[in-house]
Amino acid sequence: MSHLHGRPLGRGVVRSRGLALLAVAAVWIGGCGNASRPPDPTPTPTPALVVARPFGLKVPAGYTTAVATPLVLVLHGYGSSGQGQASYFGLLADADEHGYLLAYPDGTVDSSGNRFWNATDACCNFYGRSVDDVAYLGAVIDDVQARYNVDARRIYVVGHSNGGFMAHRLACDLSGRFAAAVSLAGAVWKQTERCQPTSKINVLQVHGDADDTIFYTGSAGYPSALETVALWAQRNGCTGALTPAGPEMDLDTSLAGAETVTEGYEDCAPGGAADLWTIRGGRHVPALGTAWADALWEYFRTHAKP
């Protein structure tokens, strides 16, 4: 079973509002498996932020303290939950298959009863709360590292929509802690000067070009998918152009054939890739199959810190 660090989590209400993202994720919420090991029994102080906001943690089958283990942080969309997002992405089973720790925290609840991350001006702190989610998610990593043997070169974050915006925010503010950040239907800051990473970080933007919630072409509040990846190419010191990076993939089961085009900037420094996967005809909540979890892990596996 998955473990809960801190106190029991309450159940939020999933409702629609503006960017009420991933309400459908409730369909995928299910069991977390029964192959997880108990946490390290060594008493370790829990960060205060984690005491106040506990998080779910999936420990893979076969975990041993003798082996440094990758850690994946998954961030939900507006109105969803950590467990719902992990299920939708297929990561609860995938963590066992590929042997990584999976942390799935929840955002705080706003005045509409929806969980959110305070990521960028565009998404999704609609009520102006003062919550510092960068500090909180840093504390989540601290807590996992204190209790398990985490490979510091292989800590990753992936998020959807509001969680995708938050993944970019973490890449901007905590670049030294993550090997790679993946955003599905999110975006980086529109005000590019607000993203000042202190080290190179691998970034992958995944986006459906038919997304009618977070537009592939951007808006007044956030940059386009192409602009987002171009910013990361600039921050990572890439000197080449955006070019095809591999074969097309079939990630969205509702679309016929291999609909996803993969591209990446050339001549980037080690540890500083800037990549774009475009789901042609993909909507805001694509019908993701097992190919998604496999492709995501392959990206993580091949993008460790140097």
pLDDT single digits (tens) 108-128: 999 999 999 999 999 999 999
Domain contains 277: yes
Check if the beta carbon of residue 183 is closer than 8 Å to that of residue 164. Answer: yes
1 falls in which pLDDT band (50, 70, 90)? Answer: very low
Q: Which among 236, 85, 241, 268 has a CA at the least distance from the CA of 171?
A: 236
State the residue range of the domain holding 292. Answer: 3-301
**For 91-101, what is each residue's pLDDT tens digit?**
999 999 999 99
**For 240-299, what is each residue's pLDDT tens digit?**
999 999 999 999 999 999 999 999 999 999 999 999 999 999 999 999 999 999 999 999
Domain contains 306: no
**For 178-211, what is each residue's pLDDT tens digit?**
999 999 999 999 999 999 999 999 999 999 999 9
Alpha carbon separation from 31 to 58, 87, 194, 290 (Å, rounded): 11, 9, 39, 17
2 falls in which pLDDT band (50, 70, 90)? Answer: low
Quick one: pLDDT at residue 3?
Answer: 57
Q: Which residues contact 130 (CB under 8 A, 6 or more apart)?
A: none
Q: Is the pLDDT of residue 102 over 80?
A: yes
Quick one: pLDDT at residue 295?
Answer: 98
**b/e 212-249 (16+ beta carbons within 10 angstroms → b):** ebbbbebeeebbbbbbbbbbbbebbebeeebeeeeeeb
Q: How many domains is the chain built from?
A: 1
**For 4-30, what is each residue's pLDDT tens digit?**
554 322 222 223 333 434 333 332 322
Phi, psi of 278 (to 5 degrees): -105, 120
CATH code at 235? 3.40.50.1820
Q: Is the pLDDT of residue 304 over 80?
A: yes
Domain contains 176: yes
Domain contains 166: yes
Question: What percent of the chain stands above pLDDT 70?
Answer: 86
Quick one: pLDDT at residue 45?
Answer: 80
Check if the beta carbon of residue 9 is closer than 8 Å to that of residue 64. Answer: no
**For 262-272, what is each residue's pLDDT tens digit?**
999 999 999 99
The stretch 140-164 carries a mean pLDDT of 98
Domain contains 92: yes
Rounded to an integer, what is the distance from CA 128 to the centroid of its chain? Answer: 23
Q: What is the mean pLDDT of the chain?
A: 89
